[in-house]
Amino acid sequence: MQRVCGIMVTMTTYGSWLRGDARSWVDDGRIYPPDPLLEAADRNRLKSPPFRFLPNQLLSVGHLLGESLIERLHQHILALTVQSWHVHLVVSDSDSPIADVVKCAKDAVRYGLCVGRPIWTVGYDKRFCFDEPTLYNRIGYVERHNLEQGWPARPWPFVVPS
């Protein structure tokens, strides 16, 4: 079995990317085309309004998430970006199952913000990196999000170079 050198995770906020979305959507690894009727049906089933992080929360959300992963699961965070409706995170391979990493990250933000409502979608996307070029491409992708916001590529001190 080939060794994983890193994993990129994408977590979206509640109600921000529904099935049928105009940007296309993914289910069980398959990409589906837009379906406005399906999106409308999913939107009508939401129990709370869609959630977005406010611009002044983005850096503190990253801090909550990163500090929790390091303290609780001893993760090495290779890249992180927090956007209004999603988070990209690249971690090095570890003994912690990726589902535990995601749960720790989501819980830390939910508890830290104390909003009392759903803020995350149930699932997440994971992309395994089996070689360094793939890992560096994913790190670069995440860092570009930060640069586009006018931030440094690594705005949190706990993000370690790979």
Closest CA to 111 of 65, 54, 158: 65
Q: With the C-alpha atoms ordered 52, 73, 145, 64, is the resulting torsion angle positive or negative?
A: positive
Least confident of 15-29, 52-66, 147-161: 15-29
Residue with tokens 């109600």: 15
Mean pLDDT across the chain: 93
Per-domain residue ranges of the chain: 6-16+51-148
**Residues 86-132: pLDDT tens digits?**
999 999 988 899 999 999 999 999 999 999 999 999 889 999 999 99
Q: Express as a percent the part of the chain with pLDDT over 90.
A: 74
Q: Which two tokens stand for residue 12?
A: 């979206």
Give me the architecture of the 6-16+51-148 domain, per CATH: 2-Layer Sandwich (3.30)
Determine which helix (DSSP H) or strand (DSSP E) holds 126, and give its type and residue range: strand 125-129
**Residues 36-51: pLDDT tens digits?**
898 889 889 989 999 9
Q: With the C-alpha atoms ordered 90, 96, 100, 106, is the resulting torsion angle positive or negative?
A: negative
pLDDT category of residue 152 using cuts at 50, 70 and 90? very high
Residue 1 and residue 83: Cα distance in Å, rounded?
Answer: 34
